Amino acid sequence: MPSAVSSALQPLRTALLQSSGRPGSVAGNLAALEAAAAGAAAGGAGLLVCPEMFLSGYAIGDGVSRLAEPAQGPGAVAVAEIAARHRLAILYGYPERDGERIFNAARLIGPDGVPLANYRKTHLFGDFEREWFTPGERPVVQAELAGLRLGIMICYDVEFPENVRAHALAGTDLLLVPTAQMHPFEFVARSVVPVRAFENQMYVAYVNRTGQEGEFEFVGLSALAGPDGTVRARAGSGDELLIGDVDAGLLAASRAANPYLLDRRPGLYDALT
């Protein structure tokens, strides 16, 4: 069942930072994040979402191992300071070191600088990710913010319907998806993401990298998709700070009009497991 969301709640203004920052430079990416947070706060945002592996860069080869840090490492401390300074929550991607293992992770910091959630990518994409990362084992990670239940996944994860449906059944209202989506898979950003939002009756914030990094050409097209299947905000192919509202009233109305979760017949789906 979806969570009950009061239509009296104020919309959560959400900023999507479409950028590749400075791959390989944590200091450069923190500076870019500081500037984006200032712009998002000036635009009235209460949440800023960054792309996959934003803190370190994505296509950085063995830099993944060199720049990986614990979940509460120096990068997390720096992001927490930025969040508290601008009074907005921040979700950022980074390589998380846990002993000998490295995870492709995303961490959510609250507007007071307090950590709210940490997620490890469960579905690794391609030889590059499988070489450097260990897959996560916890598919549904959530946190509460501004009266909404936020869920987190990373890039390829959203392309698995079962993954997103698990979030819907757990009551996720806004699914945050930092991504590194590349050519020639533009259809994921254009078509799959809005469909995921509609079929699961949630908002989806899909936030991509841009430009060429090593062998990868990131295509941008970040989007905030609504539960009615419409794209509430869409970026182009370059660097951009995109801002849109997550409206609890629309969420409640759309769920009432499209009761997919109520009309499910789970007993028929045993073959999926």
Nearest residue to 258 via CA among 228, 218, 232: 228
CA of residue 40 relative to chain centroid, distance: 16
Check 50, 96, 129, 155 and give the catalytic one: 155
155 carries an active-site annotation: yes
121 is an active site residue: yes
Q: Known catalytic residue: 52?
A: yes
What SS3 state is found at 167?
helix
In one-letter notation, the amino acid at residue 127 is D
Catalytic residue among 50, 52, 129, 213: 52
pTM of the model: 0.96
Q: Are 41 and 168 in contact (CB under 8 A)?
A: no
pLDDT per residue rounded down to tens, the chain (273 residues): 444 444 468 999 999 999 999 999 999 999 999 999 999 999 999 999 999 999 999 999 999 999 999 999 999 999 999 999 999 999 999 999 999 999 999 999 999 999 999 999 999 999 999 999 999 999 999 999 999 999 999 999 999 999 999 999 999 999 999 999 999 999 999 999 999 999 999 999 999 999 999 899 999 999 999 999 999 999 999 999 999 999 999 999 999 999 999 999 999 998 887
Single out the catalytic residue among 50, 121, 129, 213: 121
Nearest Cα to 107, choosing from 99, 96, 119?
119
CB burial of residue 89 (10 Å; 0-12, 13-18, 19+): buried
Q: ∠ CA 107-189-47 to the nearest 5 degrees? A: 35
Pair 133, 114: CB distance under 8 Å? no
Write down the pLDDT at residue 188: 98
